[in-house]
Amino acid sequence: MKKGSLFLYLAVAAVVGAVVLFAYLTQDQLAPVVVGGPAPEISTFDLEGSPRTLEDYQGQIVLLNIWATWCTPCKEEMPSMQRLVDEIGDEDFQVLAVSIDRPPGNHDPTNPVGGKLEAFADSLGLTFTILHDPAAEIRVSFQTAGVPESFLIDRAGMIRERVSGPREWDSPENVQRIRDLLGEAGS
């Protein structure tokens, strides 16, 4: 075998090997986020700075909402989520509102600087869990197109519904949907 042919063969083998290794190492990140599939894991922080993951809420029904203080539809949607929490009143149902607001000083044209999360929550009387992901990694994990975007996740960690854009979460249909999920055995 000629020296040039051997080099070409080894180069092609190295590239193929690198592609296979990359695909293997990123398979969880490359899997589509779809209704009926598992919710990706998240790593974020609560307003006190403590780390939080979806695993912290395992066994509960979770409405995961991705939002930002600069998003007008998000602000309009938040009171309906609070009314939903008040209506359901079940400790096995959690609203996790994950803000992707970036802190001042970080330049990112796709994610403007946001407001103060605690003041925002207080101004709307929100009592559900507000989490913060200033790097907006959740948008990559959940493959979102914008904000707000919400995911209804069952007790087994499976996505039951995906909603792009705002919604009236306290509508009779949505309240019943949550109650049905709470009543399901093994969900």
- Computed over every residue of the chain, the mean pLDDT equals 88
On the CB side of 80, CA atoms within 13 Å amount to 17
CA dist., res. 171 & res. 152, Å (int): 15
Q: What is the mean pLDDT of residues 41-45?
A: 94
CA dist., res. 138 & res. 153, Å (int): 15
Checking if the pLDDT of 11 tops 80, the result is no
Question: Is the model more confident about 30 or about 125?
Answer: 125
CA dist., res. 50 & res. 186, Å (int): 30
Question: Is the model more confident about 28 or about 135?
Answer: 135
Q: What is the DSSP letter of 39?
A: P
Q: What is the pLDDT of residue 86?
A: 98
Query: Are the CB atoms for 98 and 132 separated by under 8 Å?
Result: yes
Q: What pLDDT digit, counting tens, does each position of 47-94 carry?
A: 999 999 999 999 999 999 999 999 999 999 999 999 999 999 999 999
Q: What is the mean pLDDT of residues 18-34?
A: 67
Model pTM above 0.75 = yes
